[in-house]
Amino acid sequence: MSALPRRTTLKRKPARGTLVRYEGRIAEVLGEARGQRVMIRSIHPDGQERRTAVKWVNLIPLETQLF
């Protein structure tokens, strides 16, 4: 068995403007998309800002400290 901490996911759809963590980067929720997805805006490793539709259950709430 692994001693890794459990990942805490969001219990419900995040509100517009909420900051969340998605795949190791910080993202801003832009609004609801189709089905169980939300639109997010994030900065990718290449420095480009991208908007993506992702399942909201894959978003992780931010801790009280960003860095």
Residue 55 CB partners (closer than 8 Å, separation 6+):
36, 37
> pLDDT at residue 4 above 50?
no
pLDDT of residue 37: 92
Average pLDDT, integer, range 52-65:
86
Range of the domain at 44: 19-61
Q: Is residue 67 part of a domain?
A: no
State the pTM of this model: 0.74
Q: Is residue 29 part of a domain?
A: yes
Q: How confident is the model at residue 66 (pLDDT cuts 50, 70, 90)?
A: low
Q: How many domains does the chain have?
A: 1
Tell me the per-residue pLDDT of 16-47, one tens digit each, with 9 for 90 and over: 998 999 988 889 999 988 888 999 999 888 88
Q: Is residue 30 part of a domain?
A: yes
pLDDT of residue 15: 86
Q: Which pair of structure tokens corresponds to residue 33?
A: 């998309």
Rounded to 5 degrees, what are φ and ψ at 41? -120, 130
The residue with tokens 């480009």 is 48
